[in-house]
Amino acid sequence: MIPLDERDLAGVLGYLGHIRPADLSSRFARAGGYDVSSFTPCGEEWDGYLSAVDGSNAMVLESGSFSVALARAVETTFSGGRRVHAGETSLRAFRIGPEAENPAYGDLYAECFEDAPLKSLENEDRSRAAAVFRDTLEYATALRLASNLDAGDVLLLDGALRVDHESLRPVLLRILREARRRGVLVAAVTKMAASTWGGGVPLVPAAAALARDLGVRGPWYLEVPPEVMDAERYQEWHFGDTYVASLHQKAPLAFKVEVPEGASSRSVEATFAALAAYADDGRVTGYPFPLFDAHRLVTIGLDQVEQVRQTLIGAMSRQGMTGNEFQAYFGDIHDRFASYR
243: pLDDT strictly greater than 80: yes
**Would you place residue 259 in the very low, low, confident or very high pLDDT band (cuts 50, 70, 90)?**
very high
Residue 104 forms part of a structural domain: yes
The Cβ of residue 33 has, within 10 Å, a number of other Cβ atoms equal to 9
Mean pLDDT of the chain: 93
Which domain range does residue 209 map to? 40-298
Report pLDDT for 234: 61
pLDDT per residue over 188-230, tens digit each?
A: 999 889 999 999 999 999 999 999 999 999 999 999 999 999 9
CATH number at residue 243: 3.30.420
pLDDT per residue over 162-180, tens digit each?
A: 998 999 999 999 999 999 9
Residue 48 forms part of a structural domain: yes
Q: Do 220 and 245 meet the contact criterion of CB atoms below 8 Å apart?
A: yes
Report pLDDT for 333: 59
* Same domain membership, residue 180 and residue 239: yes
Euclidean distance between the first and the last CA atom of the chain, given in angstroms as a whole number? 18
- Can you tell me the mean pLDDT for 5-26? 89
- Cα angle value 315/316/319 (rounded, 5°): 90
* Same domain membership, residue 99 and residue 218: yes
Identify the CA nearest to 59 among candidates 138, 108, 127. 127
* Cut 0.75: pTM above it: yes
Residue 2 forms part of a structural domain: no
* Same domain membership, residue 318 and residue 250: no
d(CA 173, CA 169): 6
DSSP one-letter string for 201-254: EEHHHHHHHHHHHHTPPSSEEEE--TTTBPP-TTGGGB-EEEEEEE-STT-S--
Q: Do 189 and 291 meet the contact criterion of CB atoms below 8 Å apart?
A: yes
322: pLDDT strictly greater than 60: yes
- The total domain count for the chain is 2
pLDDT per residue over 264-295, tens digit each?
A: 999 999 999 999 999 999 899 999 999 999 99
* Same domain membership, residue 221 and residue 321: no
Q: Report the b/e string of 212-241 with b at 16+ CB within 10 A.
A: eebebebbbbbbbeeebbeeeeeeebbbbb
